[in-house]
Amino acid sequence: MKDRALLHRYAIVSILAALATIGLKGYAYFITGSVGLLSDAFESLVNLAAGFVALIALTAAARPEDDDHRYGHSKAEYFSSGFEGALIMLAAASILYAAVGRLITPRPIEQVALGVGISVIASTINLLVAQILFRAGRRHRSITLEADAHHLMTDVWTSVAVIVGIWATARTGWQRLDPIVAIAVALNIVRAGMGILRRSLMGLLDTAIPDELQRKIVDILARHTASGVRFHALRTRQAGARLFVDFHVLVPGDWSVQRGHDLLEKIEEEVRATVPNCSVFTHLEPIEDPVSFADVRLERADETPHPPT
């Protein structure tokens, strides 16, 4: 948790990068008049807003559990990434608006070499910061940092397309090529924004953990079946960086409580060692009781009380 509490430092790096690139790209647009560079500057402005939202979300997600949030605050990251996806869509709409106007009324681009050079410097900054955020996001399983990194990489590819468009416009003299490139960039930004929004929504809907990790859990459980133990009702979900796993363990009814408890402790420890950042919940049941096999859903399949034997 200490490492995750320090993740806000990466959001600060993202904010500083956004400030630098806004200044560079804004100046590049000012001296060239390229609507492509204007679209590039718009996206960096969104990066700045997203960086502040990420800073707030990472700070909130790192808070320890309390009386009202016994499972922690890790889902705060999904709100951040969802908001970032919405900002990306807004940036795309702004770019389309500016590009369509320039498509109708084209104008020449000035000082191409200087404008392109400034844009290359800004893109390099974004590329370096995106790689830093990617590594940190994957290492700490932070959807906020990964979303921010994806956004920055979208910005990098946007800049590449804009630079190519400006160069082609200058070479051919076809002034409408600049807004056409800007429109293509906007459509690509829409695609990236939709992907981030979808991932955020899936997280809020308690999506299961990756199949690879589920198979590892099944393998662990299978190793314990030789002693007559059975398992069922395996359920998983993820909330930000935290993973949750629960399942039922069926043992012979003549086992002592201590023996059953020791087995559950052993299995839970094996799962936690295999699946990082995982909370494991188990439920012990007698294998001879038919109701044990009916209890495979969030609510019991048969609510009729089972008479004692």
pLDDT surpasses 80 at 297: no
CB burial of residue 86 (10 Å; 0-12, 13-18, 19+): middle
The Cα 42–Cα 130 span in angstroms is 18
Q: For 13-27, 60-74, 152-166, which range has the lowest pLDDT when averaged over its residues?
A: 60-74
Instruction: Kindly report the pTM of this predicted structure.
Output: 0.57
CATH for 211-294 (3.90.1150.10, 3.40.350.10, 3.30.70.1350, 3.40.50.2300): 3.30.70.1350
Q: Mean pLDDT over residues 95-102, rounded?
A: 76
Q: What is the mean pLDDT of the chain?
A: 78
Q: What beta strand segments (E) does the chain contain?
A: 230-239, 242-251, 278-286
What topology does CATH give the domain 2-204?
Alpha-lytic protease prodomain-like (1.20.1510)
pLDDT surpasses 60 at 231: yes
- Residue 32, pLDDT score: 84
Q: For 73-77, 107-111, 298-302, 305-309, which range has the lowest pLDDT when averaged over its residues?
A: 305-309
The pLDDT tens digits for 166-219 are: 888 877 878 787 778 778 877 877 877 787 777 777 766 777 888 888 899 999
Ordered by start, the domain boundaries in the chain are 2-204, 211-294
- Residue 62, pLDDT score: 66
Rg over alpha carbons for the chain, rounded to the nearest Å, is 26
The Cα 71–Cα 57 span in angstroms is 16
- The dihedral over CA atoms of 185, 186, 190, 191, expressed in degrees to the nearest 10, equals -20
- Residue 136, pLDDT score: 84
